[in-house]
Amino acid sequence: MDNHPVDNPSVDNSPDRPLNGRTVLVTGGTRGVGAGIARAFVEAGAHVLTCARKPPEDPVEGTEFSALDLRDPDAVREFFAALPRLDVLVNNAGGAPYRPLVDAEAERHARIIELNLLAPLTASLAAYEHLRRAGGSVVMIGSVSGSRPSPGSAAYGAAKAGLENLARSMAVEWAPDIRVNTLVVGMVRTESSHLHYGGEDAIAAVSRTVPLGRLADPSDVGAAAVFLASPAAAYISGASLLVHGGGERPAFLDAATANKETRKET
């Protein structure tokens, strides 16, 4: 069965504004990576909604904000039920503090899993009917922490691993009406980078560990999210797109002595 979005006369899908006339919700779209994603969708012509627990200090121009605690299922369902239309859901809200496993009880770690895995599931289910009618899509914002050890943020890594698997299953269950994909994001330079990496010298040193030589900018993630939500990705679903600048250089290469001169030359 062919799937077509509901009629919307304002949609023209021009190359420079591929989401013109579409309505997009970016959860946590008020700062950091989320603000970069929201800004990219505005530039792509979309009507962009954002939500978070607290209003932004510096709102992204062209967006509409609503206060919403994504860990409150009843509030989430009420919020989505009141929307007149939704074409794209970007499940971006999440995060975690540095916390070794033994420094907290399981209940504290469970809150991290709730925010980073259960909240996106709750939002996606609440958005389902809107997205089905629109022939829309879901973009999960995952992390490289979900595919490698994540010491100090183990619960976060576990949640992101689950989110990527959830997206793959959702893509199968909800096809052909809704496309679902994941952006697997690496290290990003935001206003909070110093909390994760330290001062400017530390951020520069961390940047040198990335093959492309820098941390991502939120706009890099935003551009990838727009692509996955756009007609250019019409046959892409259940995919995980790596946005990590080439990944992480294997640590053993710096410790090994064999072929060291050859590696320096290359």
Q: Above 80 in pLDDT, residue 2?
A: no
What sign results for the dihedral spanned by CA atoms 144, 148, 70, 181?
positive
Q: Taking residues 110-119, what's their average pLDDT? A: 98
What values do phi and psi take at 242, rounded to 5?
Answer: -80, 125
- The whole-number pLDDT of residue 206 equals 92
What's the token pair of residue 159?
A: 């949640």
Q: How far is CA 143 from CA 94, 139, 159, 205, in A?
A: 11, 13, 10, 21
Q: Crossing angle, helix 73-81 and helix 119-134, to 10 degrees?
A: 20
For residue 258, what pLDDT band results from cuts at 50, 70 and 90?
confident
Whether residue 22 has pLDDT greater than 80: yes
pLDDT of residue 193: 86
pLDDT tens profile 232-245: 999 999 999 999 99
Say if residue 10 is exposed, middle or buried (CB neighbours under 10 Å; 0-12, 13-18, 19+): exposed
Query: What's the whole-model pTM score?
Result: 0.91
Domains in the chain, please, with CATH? 23-246 (3.40.50.720)
The DSSP element (H or E) to which 227 belongs, if any, is helix 218-229
Spell out the SS3 assignment of 108-156: HHHHHHHHHHHHHHHHHHHHHHHHHHHCCEEEEEEEHHHCCCCCCCHHH
Helix 154-173, helix 106-113: angle, nearest 10: 40
| 29 Cβ neighbours under 8 A, 6+ residues apart | 35, 37, 38, 48, 49, 50, 51, 52, 60, 63, 90, 92
Percent of the chain beyond pLDDT 70?
Answer: 92
